[in-house]
Structure 1
């Protein structure tokens, strides 16, 4: 099956017409497909997209440099723009730079000092890879043909083939077999994904039940009290309902303390005005132990977002599993709201204040 390679030929235009023609002739004689920038108007942005597509679709890229920098797009010439694009796309590039000692018409030299500097910079870039030096059109023709053959041997590419050659009976049969196999694999993958979703949902349901059965016991200091007093324990499922919405992005340890304090009640009720007072503080080590429990459950983790060096606070976020748990609980909450009004059993009377202003 004969493969034809598409080869993009790039250079300045007016001063290198004869040289380009000889390189294109050599490509045709080798049985391949030349593509030249003269087919397009590089100054037009839409046409540049066409040029870029043709470079991407090419198997090799040839650049020819003489003594002109060429027309520019801003500070960069279109020839350099094409070259850098080909390199960025991973297209094998073959450079040909005119021999400094070669005879060349005086009217084909750059006269602008800035353009001369830019041309030398571009030459240095091209010479950073192996290049060929040429002295005239015939010399370039021979060297370009030899270099392309070597490149095709050392770096064979996909190329192009005639449709009639590419799709024989054997290929058609193989495509049919692979298509059927692909369909079967897709079906099996779909079943596996559904099984995995069911397993994950069952795991979250069981974890939630365990969280509802286990309580976080802690103490708090209320205004007017000299000592820490025991607070009413909170189920881990309740704590998750309170904290998780604030951790979709992240919550600081101070935010977490505020949420816990607002929802803290004394274990032993008191009479009078003190009954309505909220605690002034929660033990840091106890709060950290609670967060550590959620880390061990795979629901929370230290935030990965960057903060100023001066910010000494610790920040916490939900893990992927924590986000999925929050989604599941929200869906269930919305579904239960449609059936009956009122708060859910394990969250009755609790308040999520988020991050209150100070």
Structure 2
């Protein structure tokens, strides 16, 4: 019986319309069934449930990435990344196709803000941790998707779909299907045991990616008191990830509570902050508690004179690893701006 496989195609939309058409064309030419988010409104909770169901029913998942992170949901994660995360969670085989660094690309199809570029590069790093191909043009993408799908279908065959009039329902067939179903249950049980062992022995890459997701989706309003001002400024939009980026470098040894507030002010573009409590102390305490809950920071263990009443914090071992990976991604992509010298 000839099977047809359902393949979910995921990407940002407006910037990759032509490329998506090529991927859908490749899937149709192979005789399979393409499904994509353009059929739904991902911003609607009910439609998101439909998308989840379509991914559940898909045999393979194709992700295309270029230079856009795309619109984000209320949790701060883009809809494309939400689809990718869900496919991974449901163990749908994922095939990644990332635009090559040397490929030409229109500037109006690139993210304009550093924060979104950072989110995009973290997402691309997550994609590259699985099976990935790099493409340069829509025709190159068409060819690579066709080849990659054919190879994956041979090495990792899935359930697929078969026309009902092609199915033989003789007693012998039913008996064989029953036997195969029982055998499949045993094999699935064994596979689950193996997967559990693998999960326990995975390196920290996936844990770091999960931490990045948590930090990104937790937003924050950043109030800063400028010197000579009479009240707090209009709050800036931030996130727990931005706060971690702001304070982590100076926590590699340790930093005091007040100076941590200074780092937040500078990171969010205010250099003329007041000397004492440039950000609200209660907000800063909550952010530090959140980062501590994620095991990224800890009270400093260094000794201080009894007369020193300051509160000191430093990075935990996990926090140092997350900072190292974050800075490496930023350095590789040239996303770290040259800082001004201290006065």
Superposition TM-score, scaled by structure 1 size: 0.48
Query: What displacement does 1:75 show?
Result: 1.1
Task: Report the CA distance shift for 1:107/1:153 in structure 2 as closer, same or farther (over 3 A).
Answer: same
Q: Deviation per CA, 1:28-52, whole angstroms, max 9, x where unpaired?
A: 0001000011000000000000000
Equivalent position of 2:56 in the other structure: 56
- Can you give the 5+ residue segments of structure 2 that lack an aligned partner in the other structure? 179-343
Does the CA-based 8 Å contact 2:94-2:131 persist in structure 1?
no
Query: What displacement does 1:175 show?
Result: 6.6
Equivalent position of 2:107 in the other structure: 106
Equivalent position of 1:81 in the other structure: 82
Kindly indicate whether residue 35 of structure 2 is the aligned counterpart of residue 11 of structure 1.
Answer: no
Q: Deviation per CA, 1:201-255, whole angstroms, max 9, x where unpaired?
A: xxxxxxxxxxxxxxxxxxxxxxxxxxxxxxxxxxxxxxxxxxxxxxxxxxxxxxx
Kindly indicate whether residue 118 of structure 2 is the aligned counterpart of residue 117 of structure 1.
Answer: yes
Q: Deviation per CA, 1:302-340, whole angstroms, max 9, x where unpaired?
A: xxxxxxxxxxxxxxxxxxxxxxxxxxxxxxxxxxxxxxx
Q: Which is higher, the Rg of structure 1 or of structure 2? A: 1
Q: CA RMSD in A?
A: 2.1
Q: Deviation per CA, 1:243-288, whole angstroms, max 9, x where unpaired?
A: xxxxxxxxxxxxxxxxxxxxxxxxxxxxxxxxxxxxxxxxxxxxxx
Equivalent position of 1:72 in the other structure: 72
Equivalent residue runs for 1:1-358 within 5 Å? 1-73=1-73, 74-166=75-167, 168-170=168-170, 174=174
Query: What displacement does 1:124 show?
Result: 0.3
Superposition TM-score, scaled by structure 2 size: 0.50
Query: What displacement does 1:174 show?
Result: 2.6
Q: Report how many residues are paired.
A: 179
Task: Report the CA distance shift for 1:16/1:170 in structure 2 as closer, same or farther (over 3 A).
Answer: same
Q: Secondary structure at the match of 2:42?
A: coil
Q: Deviation per CA, 1:60-101, whole angstroms, max 9, x where unpaired?
A: 000000000001113100000000100000000000000111
Q: Secondary structure at the match of 1:3?
A: coil
Task: Report the CA distance shift for 1:2/1:126 in structure 2 as closer, same or farther (over 3 A).
Answer: same
- Can you give the 5+ residue segments of structure 1 that lack an aligned partner in the other structure? 179-358
Q: Secondary structure at the match of 2:170?
A: helix
Structure 2 CA distance for aligned equivalents of residues 177 and 53 of structure 1: 26
